[in-house]
Structure 1
């Protein structure tokens, strides 16, 4: 699998994800959450920020099921589900990930008929704590 590109602003996101925590950068001035992480708040222009833990819950806002041809590292897993999830605590924040039946399950192991816009999901992580691991998502009602 491809590893995420980790930059200075986003490094804390990946450190928390490696520990199984979904956190978002929040402005320490006005309290507004923001993603992707960046140095300055677009609302109040403060440079102060903190990383707020979320419940990891959200709803599928959009999705796609890629089929070959794809990047070589992903072609063998196709078709699989890529979802755009809107976080429950921060409706303006949407994260991309894969929909799987459980943490660590192979991509494409969830039947396609289970995928729908608005479905409630929960973030799960399967990185083993050693490398950056993007959140995956599981249905709250399997």
Structure 2
């Protein structure tokens, strides 16, 4: 089976730095400087305080499967919520592994996969 391509991310002025870093193999997440809490999707204001006192920081790339489902039609494909070591959860895909081995609580690590069109890298995860 050929590898599936993911929808290309749309970079806007707020997310451009995130997608530029992804091209270098780095996952950037938001950091609220008022609370010290990390968040995903990065944006110009904190989801905790609505303050613009935020930074982009590099995530470790380590995470845990919080929830998942295996889609069999046209697949199989594993869609999952991954909780990053830094705390935020992101909706993503589990790739490059035996999908039957995926479990809630499984340790995963970041990998990037090419998207449709321009090939921009999209953050995905594989079993660690």
Calculate the TM-score normalised by the size of structure 1. 0.73
Q: Which runs of 5+ in 1 are unaligned?
A: 69-74, 102-109
Query: d(CA) in 2 for partners of 1:20 and 1:134?
Result: 10
Aligned to 1:133: 121
Query: Partner of 1:83 in structure 2?
Result: 80
Equivalent pairs counted in the alignment come to 120
Match of 1:97 in 2: 92
1:5 aligns with 2:2: no
Counterpart in the other structure of 2:36: 31
What runs of 5+ residues in structure 2 fail to find an aligned partner?
none
SS of 2:122 mapped into structure 1: coil
State the alpha-carbon separation in 2 of the partners of residues 37 and 135 from structure 1.
14
Cα distance in structure 2, aligned partners of 1:35 and 1:67: 28
Which whole-Å CA distance do the structure 2 matches of 1:12 and 1:132 have between them? 13
Root-mean-square deviation (Å): 2.0
- TM-score norm. by structure 2 comes to 0.80
Moved beyond 6 Å, runs of 4+: none
